[in-house]
Amino acid sequence: MAGALLCSGDCRIRNVPLLADVERMGQVLSALGVRLTREGDILDVNASELITSKAPYELVTQLRASFFAIGPILARLGIAQMPLPGGCAIGARPVDLHVRGLQAMGAEVQIEHGICNAYVPGANGRLKGAKIYLDTPSVGATETLMMAATLADGETIIENAAREPEVVDLANFCNSMGAKIYGAGTSTITITGVSQLHSTDYSIIPDRIETGTFLVAAAITRSEITLSPVASDHLIPVIAKLRDIGVPIIEEGTDCLRILPAESLKATDIDTLPHPGFPTDMQAPFMSLLALAEGDSIINESVFENRLRHASELNRLGADIRVKGNTAFVRGVSVLSGAPVIGTDLRASAALVIAGLAAEGKTTIQGLRHLDRGYDRLDMKLQQLGARILRVNEASADAELPNNNSNPPASVSL
């Protein structure tokens, strides 16, 4: 959606999920003068009347991804005013890499009173190609600078770039509009700037983290499910760890996965790393799974410094997890028991849903505002798989759960 700001014509984006973050990003773009129309999973974006360079503070501070619009706005208008971002409280995630990269491309950038003010000096107000090295392979910085460079004058090289599939997808989207981006998916991305981009009709990739979440949900409930369409090559570390734990997974073609019940769940160790390592967004769901595995597991969170708060909530369900710094020591237990818990961030909320599916009794989870930011009607999809799961108002948390089958695998109240 931020990338569509680079184009002054119509952009059609397909396979867009119903997420709170998508709605919030739409509000940000609308405030910038962008016209948006949605029908089902199709989103039409027209940024021909991108007339303001200032994004609304009250929206950007609630959604970190909206800060990524600073690159396209600066590239289109030569000036941008973007409040510092918000989102899940899982770590500092500063924007210094974004700022230094834009400065390397000739922008003057100042941060005052929580606002990032950027402009391009000179008569044409156009960014210039540059060679940029990222201290860390930040997905957000890579995407921001890659988008900004598409309309820059000359060639931009981003070294130590993030290699995530989402970076590749954004590059492919921009290229479908006429950008010249090479090397996405490697640690060096080269962008040759063009003067303008044209309309496109583009389908985004399946969400690898949602796919992984359903795989873990099936594993913890000893269920057999088939997932399609998926991008299995984006899930190599997740599939490998599930197999280490003892979960059979069959790849049926390039876009279909079938997971079978495990005879037993075995402990394993996990280190989160930038892609192609184990994704930090799957750390919390796997902690729920390992809480019921036989033996001791160690989970080291090396990407974000404040992303183990769900451990204490899992312990409320009967897990045996000890946290020291950014490392969680998980001793598997034979059973989890339902309890009221709170989702502290997006993936933590999903982890608690997964744990609740396997726990005896009823689990009531608060904090769904986090869950809805990154999962498209997760409760409804789980219901279709036979889970006893019900979304209720907080005052109705004692509501009876639906009976979806004779041997329900879940007992969760949301």
- Token pair, residue 191, equals 């962008």
Would you tell me how many other CB atoms lie within 10 Å of the CB of residue 407? 5
Distance CA 136, CA 93 (A): 11
d(CA 157, CA 189): 6
- Count Cβ atoms below 10 Å from residue 238 Cβ, excluding itself: 24
Task: Say if strands 270-271 and 412-413 run parallel, antiparallel, or are unpaired.
Answer: unpaired
Residue type, 16: V
SS3 per residue for 84-138 = CCCCCCCCCCCCHHHHHHHHHCCCEEEEECCEEEEECCCCCCCCECCEEECCCCC
Say if residues 120 and 78 touch (Cβ distance below 8 Å).
yes
174 in active site: no
- Choosing from 7, 88, 116, 174, which is the catalytic residue? 88
**Separation CA 219–CA 286 (nearest Å):** 10
Which residue in the block uniquely carries the two structure tokens 């921009």? Answer: 174
Closest CA to 18 of 43, 41, 34, 36: 41
Residue 266 and residue 272: Cα distance in Å, rounded?
19
Q: Length of the chain in residues, anyone?
A: 414
Bridge partners (DSSP) of residue 66 are none
Q: State the Cα–Cα distance between residues 378 and 131, nearest whole angstrom.
A: 42
Q: Give SS3 for 64.
A: helix
Sequence-distant (6+) residues with CB within 8 A of 306 are: 89, 90, 91
Write out the H or E segment, with its range, that includes residue 373: helix 368-374
72 prior amide bond cis, ω within 30: no
Which three-class secondary structure state does DSSP give residue 269?
coil
Residues involved in catalysis: 88
